[in-house]
Amino acid sequence: MKTGKKELSHSKVVFTLALLFFSFSACVGQEGNFSGLREQMVKTQLEARGIEDEQVLKAFRKVERHKFVLPRYISMAYQDSPLPIDEGQTISQPYIVAYMTEALNLEQDDKVLEIGTGSGYQAAILAEIVDSVYTIEIFENLGNKAKSLFDELGYTNIYTKIGDGYKGWPEHAPFDAIIVTCAPTDVPEPLKNQLAEGGRMVIPVGGDAVQQLVLLIKNRDKLKQKSILPVRFVPMLDTDGKKR
């Protein structure tokens, strides 16, 4: 018995629709799994370790960290550990990102400067909390990749720049908060000058062996500074690749 062309065509359509259905189901299932992993991350890595700011926790539940890591590390995206990205840099562990964000005591109308865009994850977390985020990356490849991802994810309140973060972004200063995700040996003077009255800065400071996360608060043009946590970050570099 011969199979007619119409029957073959119908079979192809049914097969194609079945493939599309199973592909869609797999995607939905995977995204659901990521959502569950984000919730687990918030509960076991953040809340269990003392992160209390509801806006910070809400941002971590929403921002899809797996989209900010390299494809080969997607299965590790929601573990509490830093992961390598391009240019020898890293995406910080979720707890450190949350700790630094909470330390800034952010309000919705704050204008925030980030030094070291990296993967873009920290900027995305900030953008869920405040009206405007200005982020600077010294590596052009990383900065352009992060900008493309911000555009893809629909962030219209993140402003990017390729440049030397040590110098800050004076055209848009002063900033209500500054967050630095690479470690200079001392707090850069330009960043101090670009902090608004009442502004807060959180920055890792130190050499390769010993670093401290430092919180600075500006009050009447004076900076109150205290160390809040021992950390390990990649060094701050200048445009020649030398450590700051």
Give the C-alpha distances (Å, rounded to integers) separating 90 from 10, 49, 72, 224: 51, 22, 14, 29
3 state SS of 117: coil
Maximum Cα–Cα distance across the chain: 93
Task: Reply yes or no on whether 92 is catalytic.
Answer: yes
CA distance readout (Å), 37 to 41, 68, 70, 71: 6, 15, 17, 17
Nearest to 230 by CA among 212, 206, 214: 212
CA–CA separation, 230 and 192 (whole Å): 21
* Catalytic residue, candidates 11, 25, 75, 92: 92
Q: Tell me if 157 sits within 8 A of 133, measured CB to CB.
A: yes
CB atoms under 10 Å from CB of 31, counted, come to: 12
Q: Are 94 and 78 in contact (CB under 8 A)?
A: yes
Q: Which residue has the tokens 């970050």?
A: 233
User: Which 3 state secondary structure label does DSSP give 120?
Assistant: coil
**What does the alpha-carbon distance between residue 194 and residue 26 come to, in Å, rounded to a whole number?**
48
**Phi, psi for residue 221 in degrees, rounded to 5:** 65, 10
Question: Which sequence positions are flagged as catalytic?
Answer: 92
